[in-house]
Structure 1
């Protein structure tokens, strides 16, 4: 690390990926690897029939469009392969491309890493600024929740890209802390008296394209901990894109819209980016104008002008046509956001209702969808007691913060780093209902779940939550909950309470007084540095809660 001249940070997203860099002598002067306006490229990777990398992003889209149907059967076209999860799910060794063929997962991720690092290396070598890859240090943003298998896959991906060292991983909350410490003062519109390290905690709301996530983070005593987390699709910017697309299709018809998409350079992704730019300029009460060359296509299809068709349609009070512009009334346009905004607010409320997060009063919004004024206003209105902070370029805040971590090393540098824990046991929970009210006890139902995966990467202070539903049980007087550790088992199915190597950490009985259905929440807070079978359970705090 000390010998490197520059740092590149890479953010691989479900829809788009980006890379930013800065030099050792001026780490806060951060620039995009790709030139404006293509700082972000679609997360699409194309391999030829020999499984050799061909192209990425818009180039991959255009190249794939030129292939014949017969050629497409043998080429590998990957999109929407990067997923976020609320659980420590193992990463598959292979992933499936659009036509069902499979390729090693690390090869696809490694190709994106190599794409950004090669682009940077070529540019700087031609300018005689660097001489080899050893001059470059790479930081990759990782999701808050990931299994050990995911990290192993990414290590193979770096090796594929030509990096056996000189790289590291950083999660999103650490990236935002680094950005706050070293670049917050450059933000002209944000308050300067906010100290994320001295707050009880803060909520990081990352609103991307296809996915979104909310994480509650504590920085008490200078140690960063994740308290709660939720992620998923359906409430990012892509959901609003889809609402708009379906509205346009209702007006012009699917055949016209699809022909427009096929003829438009860069295919659907240029349309998505154009729409995203419109969203960014969208203000409260303003009419939205889309410049879409659909008029000629519509007239060819239906032998009628689009302007006349709209005027005589059910949409006459909602939409007008002026030349090549489709003008949409504010009330209609606001409606495209309704379901997504409700989901965002609902997920934030769920996180803030947790016992560990009720005192959090700072919300930091990042991701390109956070740029939209309507989104910001909605969050501020829903949480008036919180300070809602949005950086000037929210879509690039995390990747810029990640760039700084490659120079700084510790996040934040003035405080000790949270200790990393690698459990040496799989920690499981078993919830059982055994009807022992009769002469001979009867086993009725059992639910098993992995709480902590053996070998997974977690931080001290992390909090995990799991919900169990016991239903279809008559006269359920009580249930028994067992938390146990196994040094051999990888899953609950491969572990049994009767195995010699299993150690029961805790046993709890809950009385339900004849209920037929009951929801139970089990939460685990990590305090220890490691887990061995000899531990007595004091290094992990486990709580139980009935959800009425």
Structure 2
């Protein structure tokens, strides 16, 4: 077995509910600046040609179960097959992590259903996702930085939800092995622990406001209790930690996961569109235009994490023109006339591929998700061993939202609420730091 001291690079893969990402840092760079972490940003977002640091968990196989494509490329190809009514000849899996989480006992024999209800091995699918992420990272390092790194020179870290059972973690290890990463080169890191590690670095090294340091550093003191609120792309996970006398993290409360906030706001937006084009037409569009749906979600993600409680300008969201075009063609109605017949007249306009939404209407999408989340957090904090929790670390892509940050701060005025500069990358970058820490 090769010694950890022979490794030159730590690389992490964050396997999310909807999207995944990978990042790395060389040991030499880490020693100079631990936060000098490189995130792979080479993923091209389908027809928009923009570059993304995250890639959708989409995998496409042919009818003989031969691998064809991954990520945006898989969604694009499957969309074309659906338009030609050939989708039933293929296996298409997207956002399948929730299916894995809902399976109580994952084994190498676990099967999951694709977009059309056909089954394939979950282990085969996940291992291919990991293999694609691994290969893309190594290829990008070679093409962009002219650095060739071999597998046995890398300490790999894979993130897993804290709510996963031991069978789930073993399943992830087997998927890594099948993807070409042997156990001797692999670490599993719990997502809340990774997020916590990154936040500790920012709390101690990166906050310039002295008042914030005085409050936030309570999370770095031994014995301090704090909460990690991970508002990921698909779930909200809440974990309570305490630092022991050696500075190690102890989990005080079993992580609770719930499909709130981000996904609920996405669905609220979908329901808004359904009010205009009807459920049948919208669901048909979702089924037949996988890539455009992903692109619309990407666009909406940017909007929902940027609007604040103070915003007064209308929010412009790009919506696939084909949705509007097909609706008006099939119904012989004009979308403008349809909107005039609703309560949104004068508040929302839809022209071509642009939906303009009044700021108050847009903020209304947040009401139910944030209310449920705050209520859930308050119910957990009533437990006696959690009453002295005084810090909340907000991570996950939706923790970037000013509205969500304000909701948490307003609900818990006596606590310090901290979010790193890039909350959506906190787990990924924290996993890289974890790899360095363990292998040191």
TM-score w.r.t. length of structure 2: 0.84
Say whether 1:149 aligns with 2:167. yes
**3-state SS, counterpart of residue 50 of structure 1:** coil
**Residue 461 of structure 1: aligned partner:** none
**Per-residue CA distance 1:167-223 (angstroms, 9 max, x = gap):** 101112321232134344335679333332315211000111221111111113223
Deviation of the 1:88 alpha carbon: 10
Is the CA contact 2:336–2:349 (under 8 Å) kept in the aligned structure 1?
yes
**Residue 190 of structure 2: aligned partner:** 171
**Map of 1:284-363 to 2, 5 A cutoff?**
284=309, 285-286=311-312, 287-292=314-319, 293=321, 296-321=325-350, 325-363=354-392
* Counterpart among 113, 122, 126 of residue 139 in structure 2: 122
**Residue 97 of structure 1: aligned partner:** 113
Deviation of the 1:11 alpha carbon: 0.9
Give the whole-Å Cα distance in 1 for the aligned partners of 2:28 and 2:160.
26
**Residue 236 of structure 1: aligned partner:** 261
Relative contact order, CA 8 A, sep 6+: which one is greater?
2
Q: 1:147 to 1:324 in 2, by over 3 A?
A: closer
Give the whole-Å Cα distance in 2 for the aligned partners of 1:13 and 1:150.
14
**Residue 60 of structure 1: aligned partner:** 74
**3-state SS, counterpart of residue 203 of structure 1:** strand
Is the CA contact 1:86–1:231 (under 8 Å) kept in the aligned structure 2?
no
Give the whole-Å Cα distance in 2 for the aligned partners of 1:262 and 1:94.
25
* Counterpart among 223, 228, 232 of residue 204 in structure 1: 228
Give the whole-Å Cα distance in 1 for the aligned partners of 2:117 and 2:378.
39
Give the whole-Å Cα distance in 1 for the aligned partners of 2:365 and 2:207.
30
Rg comparison, structure with higher value: 1
Say whether 1:278 aligns with 2:308. no
Is the CA contact 2:60–2:90 (under 8 Å) kept in the aligned structure 1?
yes
Deviation of the 1:253 alpha carbon: 3.3
Q: 1:189 to 1:209 in 2, by over 3 A?
A: farther
Unmatched 5+ residue regions in structure 1? 414-548
Is the CA contact 2:196–2:228 (under 8 Å) kept in the aligned structure 1?
no
**3-state SS, counterpart of residue 385 of structure 2:** coil
Q: 1:362 to 1:131 in 2, by over 3 A?
A: closer
Give the whole-Å Cα distance in 1 for the aligned partners of 2:339 and 2:102.
47
Give the whole-Å Cα distance in 1 for the aligned partners of 2:61 and 2:324.
37
**Per-residue CA distance 1:114-140 (angstroms, 9 max, x = gap):** 111111222334555224211222101
**3-state SS, counterpart of residue 366 of structure 2:** helix
* Matched positions, count: 411
Is the CA contact 1:345–1:382 (under 8 Å) kept in the aligned structure 2?
yes
Q: 1:155 to 1:394 in 2, by over 3 A?
A: same
111-120 vs 30-39, which deviates more?
30-39
Q: 1:141 to 1:344 in 2, by over 3 A?
A: same
Deviation of the 1:305 alpha carbon: 3.8
Which protein is richer in helix relative to its size? Answer: 2
* Counterpart among 3, 8, 20 of residue 6 in structure 2: 3
- Alignment root-mean-square deviation, CA: 2.9
**Residue 540 of structure 1: aligned partner:** none
* Counterpart among 13, 18, 25 of residue 15 in structure 1: 18
**3-state SS, counterpart of residue 398 of structure 2:** helix
TM-score w.r.t. length of structure 1: 0.68
**Per-residue CA distance 1:484-536 (angstroms, 9 max, x = gap):** xxxxxxxxxxxxxxxxxxxxxxxxxxxxxxxxxxxxxxxxxxxxxxxxxxxxx
Q: 1:147 to 1:256 in 2, by over 3 A?
A: closer
**Residue 403 of structure 1: aligned partner:** 432
**Residue 46 of structure 2: aligned partner:** none
Is the CA contact 1:43–1:56 (under 8 Å) kept in the aligned structure 2?
yes
Deviation of the 1:46 alpha carbon: 2.2
Q: 1:395 to 1:156 in 2, by over 3 A?
A: same
Give the whole-Å Cα distance in 2 for the aligned partners of 1:251 and 1:201.
48
